[in-house]
Structure 1
Amino acid sequence: MASARSGGTLLLAAIVAFAPLVLPNNYAYDVAVQIALNAIVCVGLNLLIGYAGQISLGHAGFFALGGYGSAILATRFGVPVWVSLPATCAMVGALAWLVGRPTLRLKGHTLAMATLGLGVIISIAITTEDRLTGGPDGMAVPPLVLFGAAVQGERLWYWIAGALLVAAVWLSLNLIESPNGRALRALHGSEVAAQTLGIDAARFKLQVFTLSAVFAALAGALTAHYAGFITPVKSSFLHSVELVIMVVFGGMASVFGAVVGAAVLTVLPQLLTVLKDYEMMVFGAVLVATMVLFPQGIVPTLARRFGGRAR
């Protein structure tokens, strides 16, 4: 297990390291950065949905809070970006812990509706608090500063986003193979059975919910500082649905499935722009066809067909 886990992480690191050899221009680097940042969110969301079996339709809210929180601390209160970013992730984690305590007592469609409501509340707050957030027009975000220098340019951002993605995957794989990870898989199989074995279901669900929110906040903050601007669109319900689709498309209960799903569904809309009016129609058809051919998602289905185990 450990060798397979290390091998997968090393393969991802190798892909990140050698991908620049085939990236032709800054546009390609920009798409690669978007893939990495989306994949970080999906890796965390997959821990919640794929392994713990808890649905969330409000993770775009945590994503947006990461971006807006770091931007507000930096622009409105003069906090250095290298402080505002981790501080925002910590505050989003604390918020997720607080709202998760009552919310995660729900199950199934009621939990989905509760997380949807949370995302809507966050979106409304961001849109209406225009003195802090700029309202519907959004707000400018200062550049990320590391070691006294501003991080600018797609190529430098590529290495930062790529390194953080590898770290997120490594952390998730180690969590999954730990006793806590086995407890999460037991919860997914049967919460009642897990509790009879002495597993504290409420604690483990709350922990993974908080961790997935921190992943989303980190990716949201990095996205905002990379783009230099953020709008309430990042907190929308549709963005939450996009993130869930990426997880399901790549394969639930598969860390690398989350990465593949984020990669494919970030690149695919870029490729379909040539179709103009038929872009969304073809995009939907591709999703339907993929789920018919790969019912458990791309990575788990391929792993089963070739006799392996999805991770």
Structure 2
Amino acid sequence: MLGLALPPLLPERHLATFVLFALTATVTVGVSLLMGYAGQVSLGQAAFYAIGAYAAGLLAVHGVPSLLGLLLAPVIAAVAAVLLGAPLLRLRGHHLAFATLAVQLILLSLLAQADWAGGAIGLQGIPRLTILGYELREDLGYAYAASLVLALAVLIARNVIVSRAGRALRAAATSETAAAASGVPIGRYRLAVFALSAAMAGLAGGVYAYYLGYLSPGSFPVLLSIEFVVMAVVGGLGTITGPVAGAAVVIVLVQVLNTLATRPGMPGYAPAVLSYAVYAVVLILCVLYLPKGLVPALRRATRATAPDRRQS
């Protein structure tokens, strides 16, 4: 609800940042679900973000109604995740992380060579998103659309966590051997969560494509996948609001440092260097002082001060 109430209150110049924040947070919710509950590390989540974006963009360019393209984007991303996840999820730990990273690198290489996807130049002329005959042209409309996408991702993640499958995933993340001995179909559940996280990324990618109207392989660098992981860790893995908080903290820091880096007298490479520095410094500080993330730390602090409030 807060996400829907916030866009009208923001200045026009901040609406674009809010749209990108909501889309990034949507992908990060899926990453937190995958890492925090299924115990699987993915360094290639931006690949499914790109698949959803290109799927929606290509469908729209070829005459498919944009709303239908947006609905198909998460489906296509989820199908790709199932096809890729069936062999990849046999891997564990850093082997899986490197395999997902390789998937993104291969995808970016294919997109750069594919003329039907615009090649290295990019896919241009993507129409705006049209919902029930109303075409979204202003940033405010996309801010609402991105907020709805984020709210949907949070709602789905919350329902999954409290379900029987969610409890089984938590048990598997704690002890895979014990969960398997209890009859939990670990492989099937992990593949389902992998596909669900990809679908969230694909849905966010669809909105991203219609919002920008242009896509290129450079829009989905490897650093983007690392950003998603950092945001999930900073906010708190295994939580629902953690990814949203982590995305907000990191994006605000990046925007502040970018503003400082573009001031007169700063070297041209300052924005890129400071952006990389944000992820490195924030991740190090989080691991050292907030190992479970920001949201769990705030919850512990709130519980610790609650008795003092009752006494006062």
Q: Following the alignment from structure 1 to structure 2, what is the Cα–Cα distance between the partners of residues 168 and 281?
A: 27
TM-superposed deviation, 1:190: 1.2
2:295 corresponds to which of 283, 296, 299: 299
Q: Does 1:56 align with 2:51?
A: no
What letter corresponds to residue 281 of structure 2 in structure 1?
A
Instruction: Give the CA RMSD over aligned residues.
Output: 1.7
Structure 2 counterparts to residues 125-164 of structure 1, below 5 A:
125-129=110-114, 131-140=115-124, 141-164=126-149
TM-score (norm 2): 0.89
TM-superposed deviation, 1:213: 0.4
What letter corresponds to residue 115 of structure 1 in structure 2?
T
In structure 2, runs of 5+ residues without a counterpart are 262-269, 305-312
The equivalent residue for 1:267 is 252
The equivalent residue for 1:19 is 6
What letter corresponds to residue 259 of structure 2 in structure 1?
V
Moved more, 63-72 or 205-214: 63-72
The equivalent residue for 1:7 is none
In structure 1, runs of 5+ residues without a counterpart are 1-12
TM-superposed deviation, 1:46: 0.9
Q: Following the alignment from structure 2 to structure 1, what is the Cα–Cα distance between the partners of residues 226 and 282?
A: 17
The equivalent residue for 2:307 is none
Q: Following the alignment from structure 1 to structure 2, what is the Cα–Cα distance between the partners of residues 155 and 88?
A: 22
Q: Following the alignment from structure 2 to structure 1, what is the Cα–Cα distance between the partners of residues 123 and 141?
A: 23
TM-superposed deviation, 1:59: 0.9
Q: Following the alignment from structure 1 to structure 2, what is the Cα–Cα distance between the partners of residues 101 and 266?
A: 33
Q: Secondary structure at the match of 1:300?
A: helix
Moved more, 77-86 or 218-227: 77-86
Please say if residues 61 and 234 of structure 1, whose CA atoms lie closer than 8 Å, have aligned partners that are also in contact.
no
Q: Secondary structure at the match of 2:6?
A: helix
TM-superposed deviation, 1:295: 1.6
2:229 corresponds to which of 244, 248, 251: 244
Q: Secondary structure at the match of 1:54?
A: coil
The equivalent residue for 1:3 is none
Please say if residues 16 and 139 of structure 2, whose CA atoms lie closer than 8 Å, have aligned partners that are also in contact.
yes
TM-superposed deviation, 1:160: 1.5
Q: Following the alignment from structure 1 to structure 2, what is the Cα–Cα distance between the partners of residues 21 and 143?
A: 21
TM-superposed deviation, 1:282: 5.7
Structure 2 counterparts to residues 1-311 of structure 1, below 5 A:
13=1, 15-20=2-7, 22-23=9-10, 25-75=11-61, 77-129=62-114, 131-140=115-124, 141-276=126-261, 277=270, 279-280=274-275, 283=278, 284-307=280-303
Deviations 1:105-133 (A, max 9, x none): 1111111111111111111111111x212
TM-superposed deviation, 1:225: 0.7
Please say if residues 73 and 202 of structure 2, whose CA atoms lie closer than 8 Å, have aligned partners that are also in contact.
yes
Please say if residues 63 and 234 of structure 1, whose CA atoms lie closer than 8 Å, have aligned partners that are also in contact.
no
TM-superposed deviation, 1:139: 1.7
Please say if residues 52 and 187 of structure 1, whose CA atoms lie closer than 8 Å, have aligned partners that are also in contact.
yes
CA 1:237–1:153: 2 relative to 1, 3 Å: same
Please say if residues 7 and 144 of structure 2, whose CA atoms lie closer than 8 Å, have aligned partners that are also in contact.
no
Q: Secondary structure at the match of 2:303?
A: coil
TM-superposed deviation, 1:28: 1.3
CA 1:102–1:178: 2 relative to 1, 3 Å: same
